[in-house]
Amino acid sequence: MDFEPWWLIFLPLLFALGWIAARVDIRQMLSETRTLPNSYFKGLNFLLNEEPDRAIDAFVEVAKLDPETTELHFALGSLFRRRGEMERAIRVHQSLLSRADLAQADRETAQHELAQDFLKAGMLDRAEQAFEQVLDTRFAVPAVRALIRIYESEHDWPRAIEAVKRLRALVDEPVPQLVHYQCERAVAAMAVKPPNNPAAEEALDAADNAAGAMRGQARGQASEARIAMLRAHLARLNQKPERELSYLVSVLNIAPEYASLVAADILESYRRMGQQVEGLQLLRNHYMRYPSLDTFNVVFRELRAQEGHKVAWAFAREALRAHPSLLGLDRLLEAELASAQASAAPGAPAGAGAPGGNAIASVATAVDIAAGADLSLLRSLIHKHTQRLDRYSCRVCGFEARNFYWQCPGCNSWETYEPRRLEEMK
């Protein structure tokens, strides 16, 4: 490339223009710096020195001096909410909403932030109203999700179901808890006096439709098991024992691991129909394939009642060898002691509780314990160590409970309780 003399004129011009632009930027930066309050720099200094409380106070002072700093207001409000200072967070967001010159986008953001403040503060009524005001904004999806949580915590199942329908109209995603909302409606309908059986039937049909999308999945199996259990209860209210038994037995096929929740009801249903032998055989066969402590307990007690302690204890020894369990032994001793007390009660027929008329001695023979051993002492020692194992546990938050829950009382998650005791899960 040839050198052109006029480039000598062009290069100094470019340098001069760059120098002028730099001077303008520096002056603008200095001007903006002078307009920032000293509290802003104090806040930054406190943050750098890891003094968050003093930094917050400094930034609050900045917000008071310069109301136009909306982003700083949002940052402070969010920070207050995370720290649990709900009154201050609410005050920050309400002060933003009170400004007449606030841009529409910022107003929607402030309204959504305020709704979250109310929700975290436990002010559900005000949170519900605040979320409803942003349903037609870009915050519609998180607002509907929050409303679902609010209705769920209030056990307002019809409104929760409507909110789920609205969510599914906004986003294409499954909502597994919808099955349980319908089941809760059925439970409420059957709990009134007299039971509203038609409403319960309609709710269970809706639950079955909702569960259809999840069939073949683990969560779908649990949901269908609950529906079958509720239909069995409804059939009992309608005095239809055959249908009740059919629904209960179906749980063994739908979700075999949930047999422990229905084993006692299955046996009782067979007994009312005069078929307790068939019921015992069904549960015994199921236990051999899907062992669980509750099913074991039901089978042992019924074996003892139908065939005597020797057969029952032979089953128990075999089961405990295959699946060693302190809880299982605890429940065996509990059953035997109850039988011994019944046989020793005044007016009890001779030989009650165990062949030979001496329940304690028969137990000692069955378990090879020396004659005269204090089984009540043995049971109390074992029971002391098994109390903490005789619980269900949430796999999300670890909340433990003696009763089985479809929704965890600790974290409100659905289907997070395994139908097995703690000892069985170790």
pLDDT value at 136 more than 60: yes
Q: Name the least confident of 185-189, 288-292, 349-353, 403-407.
A: 349-353
- pLDDT bracket for residue 71 (50, 70, 90): confident
Taking 80 as the threshold, does the pLDDT of residue 312 lie above it?
A: yes
Q: What is the number of domains present in the chain?
A: 2
pLDDT at 300: 85
The pTM score is 0.75
Please tell me which residue, 323 or 136, carries the higher pLDDT value.
136
Give the list of residues 6+ apart from residue 423 with CB closer than 8 angstroms, or none: 293, 325, 326, 327, 386, 389, 390
Whole-angstrom Cα distance, residue 222 to residue 210? 13
400 versus 1: the higher-pLDDT residue is 400
- Helices (H), strands (E): how many in the chain? 20, 2
Binding site listing for Fe cation: 394, 397, 408, 411
Q: What angle do CA 151, 153, 156 make, to 5 degrees?
A: 40
* Residue 414 domain flag: yes
**Across 92-101, 113-122, 166-175, least confident range:** 92-101
Judge whether 18 lies within some domain: yes
Residue 48 in any domain: the answer is no
Where is pLDDT greater, at 343 or 176?
176
Asked, for residue 1, whether it belongs to a domain, the answer is no
Which residue did the predictor score with more confidence, 357 or 231?
A: 231
Whether residue 408 lies inside any domain: the answer is yes
Flag whether 165 is in a domain.
no
The percentage of residues in the chain with a pLDDT greater than 90, rounded to a whole number, is 45
Q: Answer yes or no: are the C-beta atoms of 236 and 195 closer than 8 Å.
A: no
Domain that holds residue 397: 391-426
Token pair 């009154």: residue = 87
Tokens of residue 84, six digits = 């649990």
Is pLDDT above 60 for 366? no
Q: Within a domain: residue 193?
A: no
Between CA 72 and CA 64 the distance in angstroms is 11
User: Residue 235: what pLDDT?
Assistant: 96
The model's pLDDT over 156-209, given as tens digits with 9 standing for 90+, comes to 999 999 999 999 999 988 888 999 999 999 999 999 999 999 999 999 999 999
Residue with tokens 């406190």: 46
Q: Which residues contact 409 (CB under 8 A, 6 or more apart)?
A: 399, 401
CA-based angle 408:395:326, to the nearest 5? 100
CB-based burial of residue 145 (10 Å sphere; 0-12 exposed, 13-18 middle, 19+ buried)? middle
Q: Quick: pLDDT tens for 212-221.
A: 876 555 456 8
Report if residue 17 sits inside a domain. yes
Binding-site residue set: 394, 397, 408, 411
Cβ atoms of 58 and 36 closer than 8 Å: no
Q: How far apart (Å, rounded) are the C-alpha atoms in residues 353 and 382?
A: 22
User: Residue 186: CB partners within 8 Å, gap ≥ 6?
Assistant: 199, 200, 201, 203, 204, 207, 230, 234
